[in-house]
A and B are shown apart, each in its own frame.
Chain A
C-alpha cells in the first residue's frame, strides 16, 4: 500500500538505515501474501533395475516422509509401478521405495532364484509447486543378509548428576538365517560424516556422491580362523564399547541402563596412556584401524554402522576426505557389506545420510542425545521360538527407537 514493489528483499541486511529497512520489509510482503498453502497430487514412478526382465516395480512400497513434520505417508505402486499421494503439502521430503522379491519372483525377473530387497532413496526432494511429471525412483539392491544388526545403543546415558556417559554403547549382531553362521573374520565399522546440522556450519559428508561404497572411520574385526565363532539361528552377539557392568562397576554409571559384563566382545583401543578400559571378562575385537579418540565412540547424534566381510581387509583403499588435509577414511564397497544401519540427528537430517541407499534406504533418529534410548530392529515374524527380524535394507522401516536398550532381548524395555 505504502511501499513500492520494486524491492522484494526478504532478508534485510543489518546495515540498512531504519527507514529503508521498514520500507523494504513491508515491500517484501506485497504480492506474496495472497496465496495460501495448497496441497498437491504427487506421483512416484518406481522402476526396476534396467537388467531386470520388466521395468515396472509393481507392489513397491513408497514412503513419503516430511522432513519438517516427520510425518510419513505410504502408497503401494500399481501394476505400472505408479504410486500416488493425493494430498501432499509443500515442503522437503524423503522419498524412499522398497520392494521385496521372493525367490520365485526374483527368478522371473533376474533368472536367479535368490530373494532380493530392492531400494531407492531421494533424501531431499523439495516440493513447492505441483509437479507436472512423476518423480522417478529406480530401485537397486542387494541380497538379503543372514547376519543383521539387531540393535545399536548409541544415544548413551546420563549420570545421576546430569553428566554424560557414553562408554555403555553397544552393537548387537543377530543371526537372522535358518542355519548357523560363523562370525569369524566379520568386520564392523562406523560410517564417516556428521549426523545432521549439529552446528550452523555443519555440512554433509562430501563422499555422499560415491554411492557405490560406504566410507568408514574405524574398523574392528572378530578374530577367528573361520569356524570358531558360531551363532545359532535366532542368537546374537553383543559388541560393547566397554565390557563391564556399567551400572555396578566403579568405572561405570549407576544410571546406565545396561550391564555389558557378559558381552561377547569389546572394542579395546590399546594406547600408551591406558585410557581405554580393558575388561578382563570380555575378549577384545581386533583393531584393524582406529581413527578416533580413546575408544570406539559411536556418534551420539546418530551413527552409521556396517558389518562386512572381506578376505583381505588390508587391501581396502584409504582416501583423504575432500576438503580436508588430514582426515582419512576407508572405502568399503557395497558388494562386501552384509548389513547396514543408519541413525541421524533428527527427521530433518536426511541430507546427511552416509550409508548409500542401496545398502540402507532410510534412517532412524532418537529424541535426543544421552537419552538411554536404543535403536532396535523390528520383529517380522516368529517361527517356533525363533524370531525373524525385519530386513528390508531400510532402517526407517526396519528399526524402532525404544526407551531402554535390550541387549540379547526383545522384551519391553
Chain B
C-alpha cells in the first residue's frame, strides 16, 4: 500500500531503536532507548535497556490529499503527547511510556469504526460519511529482571484505549481497547545473546450507531469482504469486535566493540470475532490472520562513523469466515521483503554530521472476495533515498534532510466476475490507489540542543508528498497526498 511513512536516516524507525504498538513509533527514535527488546521482538537484547533515560515530546501531523484509499480520511489531523523513560531500581530495570493522542479525520466514508478494525474485514459503513473525532491513550511498560547466570526475564506490557465518534447520522461511536503481553527470556554468554518469548494479546472494539435524531433512519452497510455486503436501515444497533493474538518469537544477538548483529523471527496468530447485538448476539464474522516475519540487523559503528543494514521479510495471510456463507469469503495474502541501509559519519547516531539512507522493498498484496468472484493483485517496488547534514554550533545543531522516492508498480491485475454495487466504490477505488505508481519526496528541518554530548531537545518540521500520474477508478489523474509534521522532544 502506498504510504507517507518515511524511512529516513534521522527520523526513522530502526530495528535497533524503540517502538511500541501504542502509537509513538513515529516519534524520533533514539539509540539510547530500549530498542532490541521490543522492535521486531528481538528478544535477545534485554540488556540494552538503558539504566536511566527519559523523553517528553509532542507531535502534530496533518495529512491531506486526494491520493487516498476509499476508507481513508480526506484530511487527517493528529496531535500526540508522549512521555517515556527508563530507570534502574536496584538490579531491576524498568521502562515505561505514556501517550495521549487526539485525532480529527474529515470526510471518512465507508467506515463507521476505527481504522484498525478494517483489518477484520467485517465493517459497518455508510455512504454519507463525515468527520470522526477521537482520543486515545497508550500505556506501555517493561520490567527486566537482574541477571542470574546470564539469564534475564522481561515482561513488556502494552495497553491502549481510544474512543471516536462521528456527529453525522447514524452517529457511529467506537471504543477500542488493546492489551498485549510479550514475556521473554534471554540468556547471555559473553558477546552472545539468545532469547525466546511469547506474545499474548487481546483487543476489543465496541460500536454503536443511532440514538441521534428521529429524522434520520440511515442505511447501514455491513461489509463482508472487498465487495460482498448487505445493508439495512437501522435506528440503533450495537456491535462488538473481539480479538486475540498469540505468538512466539526468538532471537539472537552478538555484540562487540564495533559490531552489533541481531536477528529475530516472530510468528503471530490473530483472530477477530464480530458479534452484532448485545442482548442476543449474532455472529458477524471472523477474521484469522497469520503473520510471520524475520529480521536481520547489522550495525558497525565507531565514535565517528557507522553503517547499518536492516533486512525484513514478512508474510501475512488473512482469511475471513463469512457469517452468511459459513465459509471463507474474504482473503488477503501479502509478502514483503525490504532492505534498508544507513550510513553516517561525524559522530554517533543521531548526532552525526552526515547521514545517507537507501530503502528498497518488494511487496505484493492479493485481495480476494470469493462470493463476488473478485480479486486484485498488486506488486510494488518502492525505493527511497535520503541524505542529511547536521551543522553543529557549540551546544546546538541544525539538521536538514532531503529524500526522494519512486514507488513503481511491477504488476497489477484485477478481475470482478460477480460484482456488486460496492465493486466500483470500494474494490475498484482501492485497487486503483494500490496500483498507482507514485513519486514522492520529503524534507525535514530540525534544531537540536545538545547537553553533555547527548541530545537534549529536538524541534523538527517535516513534510512529505506523493504524486501519481496514474488514473484512479473515477477517471481522476495526477493526484497527490501531502503530510506535514511538527515535533518537539525533550530528553
Residue pair B243, A25 in contact (C-beta under 8 Å): yes
The number of chain A residues with a CB under 8 A from chain B is 52
Q: Is A313 an interface residue (CB 8 A)?
A: no
Contact B238 A10 (CB under 8 A): no
Interface centre among A18, A91, A347 (most CB of B within 10 A): A18
Whether, in the assembled complex, B232 has its beta carbon less than 8 Å from a beta carbon of chain A, the answer is yes
Other-chain residue from A12, A18, A162 in contact with B273 (beta carbon distance below 8 A): A12
Known A11-B281, A38-B327, A90-B326; contact A199-B235, beta-carbon cutoff 8 A: yes
Interface assignment of B269: CB less than 8 Å from any CB of chain A: yes
- Give which listed residue, B269, B279, B319, contacts A2 with CB less than 8 A: B269
Chain B interface residues (CB < 8 Å from chain A): 179, 200-202, 204, 214-215, 217-219, 228-238, 240, 242-248, 269-273, 275, 277-281, 283, 286, 288, 319, 321-322, 324-329, 331, 370-371, 420
Cross-chain pairs A/B with CB under 8 angstroms, 19 sampled: A1-B269, A3-B246, A10-B286, A12-B273, A18-B200, A22-B202, A22-B243, A22-B244, A22-B245, A25-B244, A26-B246, A26-B269, A29-B286, A34-B328, A35-B328, A90-B325, A198-B234, A201-B279, A368-B217
What are the residues of chain B within 8 A of A32 when measuring CB–CB?
286, 321
Q: Which of A12, A36, A346 contacts B231 (CB 8 A)?
A: A346
- Say yes or no: is A92 at the interface (Cβ < 8 Å to chain B): yes
With A11-B275, A35-B328, A69-B230 known as contacts, the answer to whether A22 contacts B246 (CB < 8 A) is: yes
Are A37 and B370 in contact, with the CB atoms below 8 A? yes
Q: Which of A18, A24, A128, A200 contacts B277 (CB 8 A)?
A: A200
Query: Which of A28, A29, A197 sits near B232, CB closer than 8 Å?
Result: A197
Given contacts A11-B273, A69-B420, A200-B279, contact A23 B244 (CB under 8 A): yes
Given the complex of chains A and B, what is the CA–CA distance between A238 and B85 in angstroms?
A: 77
Partner of B370 from A18, A22, A26, A36 at Cβ < 8 Å: A36
Residue numbers in A under 8 Å from B228 (CB-CB): 68-69
Indicate if the CB atoms of B201 and A29 lie closer than 8 Å. Answer: no
Please tell me if the beta carbons of A37 and B328 are within 8 angstroms of each other in the complex.
Answer: yes
Specify which of B246, B247, B321 is in contact with A23 (CB 8 Å cutoff).
Answer: B246
Which of B215, B218, B283, B325 meets A37, CB within 8 Å? B325
Q: Give the interface of A toward B (CB within 8 A).
A: 1-3, 10-12, 14, 18-19, 21-26, 28-29, 32-38, 67-69, 89-92, 128, 158, 162-164, 196-201, 301, 345-349, 367-370
Q: Beyond A162-B215, A368-B217, is A29–B321 a contact (Cβ under 8 Å)?
A: yes
Q: How far is the CA of A19 from the CA of B200 in the complex (A)?
A: 7
CB <8 Å contact, A33 and B233: no
Chain A, Cβ-Cβ closest to B420: A69
Q: Which residue of B lies closest to A39 (CB)?
A: B371
- Which listed residue, B219, B273, B283, B324, touches A92 by the CB 8 Å rule? B324
Closest 8 CB pairs of A and B: A22-B244, A29-B288, A25-B244, A68-B230, A18-B202, A37-B370, A90-B325, A25-B271
Task: Select from chain A the residue with minimum beta-carbon distance to B328.
Answer: A36
Contact B232 A89 (CB under 8 A): no
Residues of chain B contacted by A18 (CB below 8 angstroms): 179, 200, 202
Roughly how many angstroms separate A29 CA and B215 CA in the complex, as a whole number?
A: 41
In terms of DSSP, what is the predominant structure of the interface of chain B? strand
**Minimum Cβ distance to chain B for residue A26 (Å):** 5
Distance from A152 Cβ to chain B, minimum over Cβ atoms (Å): 18
Q: Which residues of B contact A69 (CB under 8 A)?
A: 228-230, 420
Contact assessment for B283 and A28 in the assembled complex, using a CB-CB cutoff below 8 Å: no
CB distance from B229 to the nearest CB of A (A): 8
- Is the Cβ of B279 less than 8 Å from the Cβ of A24? no
Bound together, the chains give a CA A32 to CA B248 distance in angstroms of 23
| Cβ A196 vs Cβ B242 within 8 A | no
- Alpha-carbon gap, A333 to B237, bound state (A): 37
**Chain B min CB distance to A88 (Å):** 11
B273:A25 contact, CB within 8 angstroms: yes
Q: Which B residues are CB-close (under 8 A) to A89?
A: 325, 371
Cα(A370)–Cα(B218), bound, Å: 11
Q: Which of B217, B218, B328 contacts A301 (CB 8 A)?
A: B217
Residues of chain A lying within 8 A (CB to CB) of residue B243:
22, 25
Q: B133 to chain A: closest CB distance in Å?
A: 22
Supplied contacts A11-B283, A32-B286, 18 more A-B pairs, CB within 8 Å? A2-B248, A11-B275, A18-B179, A22-B200, A22-B245, A23-B246, A26-B270, A29-B321, A68-B230, A90-B327, A164-B214, A164-B215, A199-B235, A346-B232, A348-B231, A349-B232, A368-B219, A370-B215
Contact A29-B271, Cβ < 8 Å, known A22-B244, A196-B233: yes
Q: Is B244 touching A26 in the complex (CB atoms < 8 A)?
A: yes
Residues of A within 8 A of B278 (CB): 200
A346 to B221, CA, bound (A): 12
The residue of chain B having its C-beta at the shortest distance from the C-beta of A164 within the complex is B215
